[in-house]
Amino acid sequence: MAEYTVVGGGAIGGTLAFHLARAGHRVLIVDADEAHVAAIRSNGLVLRGPDGDARVSIEAVVPDAAPAELRGVLLAVKAQATAGVLSWLEPRLASDGFVVSLQNGLNERLIASVVGPERTVGAFVNLFADVVEPGVVRDGGQGALVVGEPDGRISERVERIVADLQAWGPAKATDNVEGYLWAKLGFGAMLTTTALADAPMAELIDRHRPLMHAITAEVLAVALAGGRRLEAFDQFDPAAYVPGSTAQDAATDRLTAWLRTMPKDRSGIWRDIAVRHRPVEVHDHYGPVLAEAASRGVPVPLLTAMLERLRAVETGEAAMSEQHLVELGR
């Protein structure tokens, strides 16, 4: 049996599968994209970095051809595919197995509701990557990778997963994965807003600072109302963006300077709309945020309006344009 089964071997799953396999771990990729699976099976998985291509041989199958029992599952599908994966995975997951959510959003809740909290591990992912052709993942820049039990314990399995993921880079364990995921939802509100236009994330965040600061503050206000302890990562400091802060501009100087160093200059959300012409996952990311905002009475008008515009852009009802950011910022 594979030590790690990567379900969704795209940008993030492919990157991590590549490094785990190259370090000698037994890795199986299960992916719904038949062309991607076929390319990996015939040519290996290619990671395209600043110094050129590196290739590793990895076993890959489509879901129908997966083994009957899986133990260590690294889940890296887009959030809206999670429910479908879980109904396929639950009967296959060993009783002592686990699922690590290597995704944006709050997927751990859904995963735990299907496979049980004892088989659910959380993670926060901020590395940048894209699948650029079947079997080829482009490294878009290094960011944080943090793993933790949803209940905050630093368990033996978390330590083992972190040690193995260090084959990729500086993975670490946390007792507060929820604090990272909510902080990423705050940062992610800026990233999602940039997907309304076709320009680099750093430039749009820089040019529309009042809007970016206000939308991030809305999300973080919901997080704080729920009693979360927010975690800083890379060059995103949530403390600088909470309501009442006056440190946003200095923080955004650091954030945009960091984003400008990344080879991947547009978000996965932008890519799903502009390049892949498919529905985006952010409605799943922010559904629980909107629900919690409503139940706690925290106003989120900008987040709501931004997501409505994104839906219109996604469905082709509205064009992708920086004008959306101008109008949201008024």
Ligand X SMILES: NC(=O)C1=CN([C@@H]2O[C@H](COP(=O)(O)OP(=O)(O)OC[C@H]3O[C@@H](n4cnc5c(N)ncnc54)[C@H](OP(=O)(O)O)[C@@H]3O)[C@@H](O)[C@H]2O)C=CC1
Ligand Y SMILES: CC(C)(CO)C(=O)C(=O)O
- Residues engaged in binding ligand Y (CB under 6 A): 104, 126, 128, 143, 191, 264, 267-269
97: region left, alpha or beta (phi > 0 left; psi from -120 to 50 alpha): beta
User: To which H or E segment does residue 54 belong?
Assistant: strand 52-56
Rounded to whole angstroms, how far apart are CA atoms 106 and 181?
7
| Contact pattern from residue 45 through residue 84 relative to ligand X, giving x for each residue in contact according to CB under 6 A and a dash for the rest | ------------------x------------xxxx-x--x
Instruction: Rule CB under 6 A: say whether 19 interacts with ligand X.
Output: no
Q: Residue with structure tokens 């492919």? A: 14
CA atoms in the 13 A half-sphere facing the CB of 164 = 20
The listed partner (ligand X, ligand Y, none) that binds 77, CB under 5 to 8 Å by sort, is ligand X
Q: How far is the CB of 269 from ligand Y (least distance, A)?
A: 6
Smallest distance, ligand X to C-beta of residue 326, A: 26
Helix (H) or strand (E) holding 275: none
**Minimum CB distance to ligand X smaller for 22 or for 78:** 78
User: Which one of residues 4, 8, 106, 313 is an interface residue with ligand X (CB under 6 A)?
Assistant: 8
- Residue 185's H or E segment, with its range, is helix 177-194
Residues 89 to 128 in contact with ligand X, rule: CB under 6 A: 103-104, 125-126, 128
Q: Which stretch binds ligand X (CB under 6 A): 27-35, 208-216, 223-231, 253-261?
A: 27-35
Q: Coil, helix or strand for 68?
A: coil
Residue 32 in contact with ligand X, rule: CB under 6 A:
yes
Instruction: Kindly give the interhelix angle for 282-296 and 301-314, rounded to the nearest 10 degrees.
Output: 150
* Residue 129 C-beta: closest distance to ligand Y, Å: 7
CA 67 to chain centre: 26
Residue with smaller CB distance to ligand Y, 178 or 281: 281
Residue nearest to ligand Y (CB): 268
Q: Report which DSSP code applies to 38.
A: H
Q: How far is the CB of 103 from ligand Y (least distance, A)?
A: 10
Q: How many CB atoms lie within 10 A of CB 24?
A: 9
User: At 11, which helix (H) or strand (E)?
Assistant: helix 11-22
3-state DSSP helix/strand/coil % of the chain, to nearest 5: 50, 20, 35
Q: Which does 191 bind (CB under 5 to 8 A by kind): ligand Y, ligand X, none?
A: ligand Y
Q: How many residues lie near ligand X (CB under 6 A)? A: 29
Select the residue interacting with ligand X from 2, 20, 30, 110 (CB under 6 A).
Answer: 30
Q: Radius of gyration over alpha carbons of the chain, in Å?
A: 19
In whole angstroms, the minimum distance from the beta carbon of 162 to ligand X comes to: 17
Stretch of residues binding ligand X (CB under 6 A), selected from 7-15, 16-24, 49-57, 210-218: 7-15
**Please, which of residues 236-255 interact with ligand X by CB under 6 A?**
none
Based on CB atoms, which residue is closest to ligand Y, 72 or 179? Answer: 179
CA distance 76 to 224: 27
At 194, list the tokens.
């940039």
Q: Rule CB under 6 A: is residue 36 a binding residue for ligand X?
A: yes
Site for ligand X in 263-302 (CB under 6 A): 268, 281
Judged by CB, which is closer to ligand X: 32, or 217? Answer: 32
Terminal-to-terminal C-alpha distance of the chain: 56
Alpha-carbon distance of 43 to 22, in angstroms, equals 15
| Site residues (vs ligand X, CB under 6 A) | 7-8, 10-13, 30-33, 36, 63, 76-79, 81, 84-85, 103-104, 125-126, 128-129, 131, 140, 268, 281
